[in-house]
Structure 1
Amino acid sequence: MNESPLRDDEFAASVMAVPPLARRADYALDAGQNRALIRHIEAGGLRTLLYGGNANLYHVAPSEYRELLDLLADAAGPATRVIPAIGPDYGKMLDQARILAQTHYRTAMVLPFGGFTTSEGVEAGLARIADTAGMPLTLYVKSENYVDVDALARLIERGTLSAVKYAIVRDDPAHDPYLRRLLDSVPVAKVVSGMGERPALVHLREFGLAAWTSGSGCIAPRMAMALLRAIQSGQNGQSGRSSQRNTDDIVQRLYDAFMPLETLRDQISLIRVLHDAVTFSDIADMGPLLPLLSSTPSGHHAKIAQAARTLLALEREFAQTHPNLSDTQATA
């Protein structure tokens, strides 16, 4: 695991993989299967692993948390940043912060809590959690009501927060006054799109966000990284006018490859579909979801399996035709 100090430029250097978490039939953590998934993700070039909602950390027991942290730190390669989630409630967050303080982790993501919060209370609470953990936090923002923009800006300015995972769903992601206000107050390098590939193009092209978090990228990490590099190439003018249209075509083809599985996740369940998709792809056996969640209904399994296997087949084909990610900017 990468134990070096966290830098802002890391967020634009890699798509953030958001993996599910493998467990055995008795719900114990499965080190071997988690390691298999991590190796697949790393082989595709992703260097940030964010264990949060897709890993069902909402329901992880505090008594298991240190074991989980040790497992992930041991499984990740030396260049891979691992960001575990804490929370969502304050009491659980505080206990987990005390455990984090005894480790070499450099940040943890605060899971969003619905209800029974105020912006002032969140601001004060996160400051105490960061002090207890001895590290800045990454905040998962899913609602305008969780913390106001001014409070968010203060938390970043004070060093309480190192990054924001922005995930407020809009009918049109290009029309987002809250995000505009946020970026007027917060360095754009610290804000990551937090809703997978679907809004990623708009968030990076229109708002300049650093990168995005990806569940489907756990199955197709090389394609996710190629998509990021192609978008960045277009933003920076690296492709030149004569090849801009080619770059746009590359982006669209890569983006379209993710949509079938992303659509099923949107329609059925973001967490449950990804968990089952990784298992159906045979990358790793994720086992059962920790209660209070459960597998997707069996009637959905065939279409989830088809989407997952199709995406993995495209990933493997892409790996053969583009063995070096640097080649993708011009030849995808």
Structure 2
Amino acid sequence: MKTEFSTDDLWSSVISVPPLARTHSGVLDLEENRKIIQYLEAGGVSTLLYGGNAILYHVALSEYDNLLTMLAELAAPDSLVIPSVGPGYGMMLDQATILKEHDFPTAMILPTRDVTTRQGVGLAVRRFVERFEKPVVLYIKTEGYIDVETVEKLVNDGLISCIKYAIVREQINDDPYLRDLADVVDPAMIISGIGEQPAIEHVRDFGLASFTSGCVCVAPYLSMKMLQSLRAKDYDTAEQIRKLFEPLEELRNAINPIRVLHRALELAEIADTGPIIPLLSELHRRDIPKVQQAATDLKAADEAARPALT
């Protein structure tokens, strides 16, 4: 596992956001998480961000140290692993104390809409960094969560490693907040945080560095090829690849992004992700065939796109 962070890392890999596999008794599953990580790394992915898809919103503080130990152990030496903290203020401070005992170069603060103000979020980031003693990933997911001026101050004070931007817009290019943010913060430290679907516009039109993806866990080679196409400004190829992700992404949007991805890896025979933990619930039986079809089709497309072995 890499122990230093650079914004150059954002260009080198799609930022995968994997689910977290658990045994059927609910504890962390070392071997199944190993399968997920090795599958991603074999497809060229070298950045793993454990956040929403891993359901770290609901992780027990009592298992957090074991989780960090497991992730550090499983990742390859040249892979960057970013764990998450929060979203509650007290939780993130306690997690900062545990994180300091490990070598992760940054961590992401999970966002919440509840019981917050924009300035209060900025202060929470400062207090967390004071305790963690390393800059953090700022995750902006909803309008009004934090204002651009506060973000600018945090960046200028060296408290932010990068920004995950994930406010969903009906028209991707009609985004005054992102325009303002990219005017005051180097776009090279902002990553598109909503998967492959808006990534072309975010990289091409706003200059963002890269993109996060959950479906990369099903098709890592294709997702990496899309990032490479964006870097080469080959937007036609990037668009062709983006369309391959659409069926599974549309199911994630229609049902629930986390629940669909969690089960998709199992249905595509990548890893046994085990039960999904509360406060989430399992997919309805009627949705499983649709998810299985979309996941297996995407995995097959990924395998077909890989260079033939000689």
Q: TM-score range by the shorter chain?
A: over 0.9
Q: Which residue of 2 aligns with 1:303?
A: 290
Residue 272 of structure 2 is matched in structure 1 by: 285
1:251 equivalent among 238, 241, 251: 238
Q: Give the equivalent residue in structure 2 for 1:232.
A: 231
1:253 CA drift (Å): 1.8
Structure 2 match to 1:89: 88
Distance 1:267 1:290 in 2: 20
Counterpart contact for 2:263–2:273, Cα < 8 Å:
yes
Shift of 1:248: 3.9
Structure 1 position 291, deviation (Å) = 1.1
User: How far 1:320 moved relative to its partner?
Assistant: 3.4
Q: Does 1:2 align with 2:15?
A: no
Give the Cα–Cα distance (whole angstroms) in 2 for the partners of residues 66 and 9 of structure 1: 28
SS of the equivalent of 1:162 reads strand
The residue matched to 1:49 in structure 2 has which SS? strand
Residue identity in the other structure for 2:53: N
* Match in the other structure for 2:147: 148
- Partner SS for 1:212: strand
Q: Is 2:256 aligned against 1:269?
A: yes
Spell out, residue by residue over 1:269-320, the C-alpha distance to the aligned partner (whole angstroms, 9 max, x if none).
Answer: 0000000000101110000011111211110000100000011111111113
Unmatched 5+ stretches in structure 1? 235-246, 324-332
Partner amino acid for 2:113? G
In 2, Cα distance between equivalents of 1:248 and 1:75? 34
Q: Secondary structure at the match of 2:232?
A: helix
- Matched residue, 1:37: 36
Equivalent position amino acid for 2:267 in 1? F
The number of residue pairs the alignment matches comes to 310
- Residue 133 of structure 1, CA deviation: 1.0
Question: Percent identical across equivalent pairs?
Answer: 45
Q: How do residues 23-172 of structure 1 correspond to structure 2 at under 5 angstroms?
A: 23-172=22-171
Which string of whole-angstrom CA distances, capped at 9 and with x for unpartnered residues, describes residues 93-131 of structure 1? 011011001110010001001121112211111111011
Q: Give the SS at the match of 1:139.
A: strand
Q: What SS class does the counterpart of residue 10 from structure 1 fall into?
A: helix
Any unmatched runs of 5+ in structure 2?
none
Contact 2:200 2:239 survives alignment (8 Å): no
When normalised by structure 2's length, the TM-score is: 0.98
Q: Hey, what's the Cα distance between the residues in 2 that align with 1:150 and 1:176?
A: 16
Give the deviation of 1:134 after TM superposition. Answer: 1.6
TM-score w.r.t. length of structure 1:
0.91
